[in-house]
Structure 1
Amino acid sequence: MNSNTVCIGVTGRTDELGRALFKNWSHANQNVEFVSFKGDIKNQSNVNDWLCYIPKHNDLLHFAAMVPTSDVDKDPLKAFRVNILGTLNLLETCRLNFTKKVCSWIFIASTSQKQFVTETSPLSPVSTYGVTKA
């Protein structure tokens, strides 16, 4: 990796959203190196080892989630572990190991609302998946 390369750590790169993003992003940005998480997002040790391995990562994209909603409905406990505890594992590892603070989160989901959704918007998930992502 040369000094001009931006290193981005990515969870969930093989999921639908991750594939779509990287297909387009890879062609447009020659100086970006993506380091994919291949472990178990529910395992704090896996998350810690991966994040501490990434050399001088500049950003982190977290797409890992249990989908589709039919799978979530079949096993809500697993969905909770992946979608909620996995995110908490990532945040906790960042908090303990890195001085650079998380400065923003971008929420991407489908919603019936026609206006912007903010941090103070009321939550009214209509599915188990929605509950794990709210």
Structure 2
Amino acid sequence: MKILITGGAGFIGSNIVDFMIEKGYDVVVVDNLSSGKLEYVNKKAKFYKIDLTDEYLWQVFDNERLDLVIHEAAQVDIQKSIKDPVVDAKVNILGTINLLECCRKYNLKKIIYASSAAVYGDPLYLGLDERHRLEPVSFYGISKYTGESYLRIYSKLYGLKYTILRYSNVYGIRQDINGNTGVISSFIGKMLNGDRPIIFGDGNQTRDFVYVKDVVYANYLALYKGENQIINISTNNSTTINKLVEIINGIMDTNLKPIYLPARTSEIEQSYLNNIKAFEVLGWVPQYSLEQGLREMIDFYMLK
């Protein structure tokens, strides 16, 4: 089987590429390197530096004769989506449509789509399951949900099979610790330099943190399972941001107190996702505790 992985030079995508190659699959990577790094692209993968919105994306499909797509490429910064919704929509909506058109024209078997907990909005209950109403409170959430909607219609009109994986807060090795790609990466980046982490709000807000290697394995299982299903990929547990700082301090043997700033707009207060369907449909359960994942991530950056 030959698999195209969009965003395969990025944080989650490059980890998926490595795993799929280890399992013996032929892998093709598409990435514009706007946030991904060429050094993270496995040498055994065929690499194309091209944007998802490029009108010549079809040439990758024409050259490679692909079987399946794992679509990880995205604009993932919620605050950036609020500041620049046009860019967010261009990447996450128009880029996805362009990709789906290529899938249709070249009769691909299936697409696995990386969606997000952001599609749910403010929770009516916890943990949020796949039947929860969808009412995003950010443009990022809207753009990911719009991608889901296009997938469903492409499936109905053209028979393209899909699995939609709604990730909770993914963290892990290769995440950018110098940017704003996630609260964990931001904290680790600062704390490794001896700087105090910055918390927006009182720190009592909760998140569901899932380790990247668990996310990778969910994508692997979705190659053959979960046809036309929407599935949460999460730990089914919540952790406060204050507790997160405490755990990182414990692992690093530091005592860096947070700096508290006003809460940001379009931030959910409490959130964790129900993952029962992932077990029932994919046979997936997370293998990494938060502390195990954090230790591996911190070790990765301390050795760099």
TM range (shorter): 0.7 to 0.9
The equivalent of 2:92 in structure 1 is 83
**Counterpart contact for 2:53–2:91, Cα < 8 Å:** yes
- Structure 1 unaligned regions, length at least 5: 1-5
Q: Give me the whole-angstrom Cα distance separating, in 2, the residues matched to 1:20 and 1:106.
A: 16
Q: State the AA in 2 paired with 1:26.
A: I
Q: CA deviation at 1:43?
A: 1.7
Q: Give me the whole-angstrom Cα distance separating, in 2, the residues matched to 1:40 and 1:98.
A: 19
**What fraction of aligned residue pairs are identical, expressed as a percent?**
28
Q: State the AA in 1 paired with 2:116.
A: A
Q: CA deviation at 1:26?
A: 3.4
The number of equivalent residue pairs is 121
Q: Higher Cα Rg: structure 1 or 2?
A: 2
Q: Secondary structure at the match of 1:122?
A: coil
Q: State the AA in 1 paired with 2:60.
A: W
The equivalent of 1:125 in structure 2 is 136
Q: CA deviation at 1:15?
A: 2.2
Residues 14 and 100 of structure 1, relative CA distance in 2, 3 Å threshold: closer
The equivalent of 1:44 in structure 2 is 55
Q: State the AA in 1 paired with 2:58.
A: N
Q: Deviations over 1:92-125 (max 9, x none)?
A: 1222x223454x654542255524315xx53111
- Structure 2 unaligned regions, length at least 5: 31-48, 146-304
Residues 124 and 68 of structure 1, relative CA distance in 2, 3 Å threshold: same
Q: Deviations over 1:4-38 (max 9, x none)?
A: xx2111111122221232344433x0x21211112
What value does the CA root-mean-square deviation take over the aligned residues? Answer: 2.3
Q: Deviations over 1:35-60 (max 9, x none)?
A: 11121111222x21112111x32211
Q: Secondary structure at the match of 2:116?
A: coil
Greater share of residues in strand: 2
Residues 49 and 84 of structure 1, relative CA distance in 2, 3 Å threshold: same
**TM-score (norm: length of structure 2):** 0.36
Say which of 103, 126, 130 aligns to 1:94.
103
Residues 24 and 79 of structure 1, relative CA distance in 2, 3 Å threshold: same
Q: Secondary structure at the match of 2:26?
A: strand
Say which of 129, 151, 172 aligns to 1:116.
129
Question: Where do 1:52-63 residues align within 5 Å?
Answer: 52-54=62-64, 56-63=65-72
Q: Give me the whole-angstrom Cα distance separating, in 2, the residues matched to 1:128 and 1:105.
A: 22
Residues 83 and 14 of structure 1, relative CA distance in 2, 3 Å threshold: same
Greater relative contact order structure (CA < 8 Å, 6+ sep): 1
Q: State the AA in 1 paired with 2:86.
A: L
Q: Give me the whole-angstrom Cα distance separating, in 2, the residues matched to 1:40 and 1:107.
A: 17
Residues 63 and 107 of structure 1, relative CA distance in 2, 3 Å threshold: closer
Residues 9 and 75 of structure 1, relative CA distance in 2, 3 Å threshold: same
